[in-house]
Structure 1
Amino acid sequence: MLRGIHPILNPDLLRAIARMGHGDEIVIADANFPSSTMGPEVIRADGVSATDMAEAILTHFPLDTFVPETAWRMEVVGDPRAVPEVCAEFEEIVSRRAGSFKIASLERFAFYERARTAAYIVATTEFRLYGNLILKKGVVHPDEVYRG
Structure 2
Amino acid sequence: MITYTLIHPELLRALATSGHGSRILIADGNYPHNTGAPAAASRVALNLRPGLLTVDQVLEVLIDAVPIEAAAVMTPPDGSWTGAVKSYQRALGADVPITPYQRFDFYEAARGADVAVVIASGDIRQYANLLLTIGVRVDGTAGMEAVD
Class of the TM-score when normalised by the shorter of the 2 chains: 0.7 to 0.9
Shift of 1:142: 4.6
Distance 1:2 1:52 in 2: 20
Structure showing the higher helix proportion among its residues: 1
The residue matched to 1:16 in structure 2 has which SS? Answer: helix
- In structure 1, stretches of 5+ residues that fail to align are 65-69
- Please, what TM-score do these two structures have when normalized by structure 1? 0.83
- Please, what TM-score do these two structures have when normalized by structure 2? 0.83
> Is 2:119 the counterpart of 1:119?
no
Structure showing the higher strand proportion among its residues: 2
Distance 2:65 2:108 in 1: 26
- In structure 2, stretches of 5+ residues that fail to align are 143-148
Are 2:75 and 2:82, in contact at CA under 8 Å, matched by a contact in 1? Answer: no
Q: Which residue of 2 aligns with 1:101?
A: 96
Distance 2:5 2:13 in 1: 13
Q: Deviations over 1:19-48 (max 9, x none)?
A: 111100010000000111123332101231
Q: Which amino acid aligns with 2:72?
A: W
RMSD of equivalent CA atoms: 1.7
Identity of aligned residues (%): 29
Larger C-alpha radius of gyration, 1 or 2? 2
> Is 2:64 the counterpart of 1:43?
no
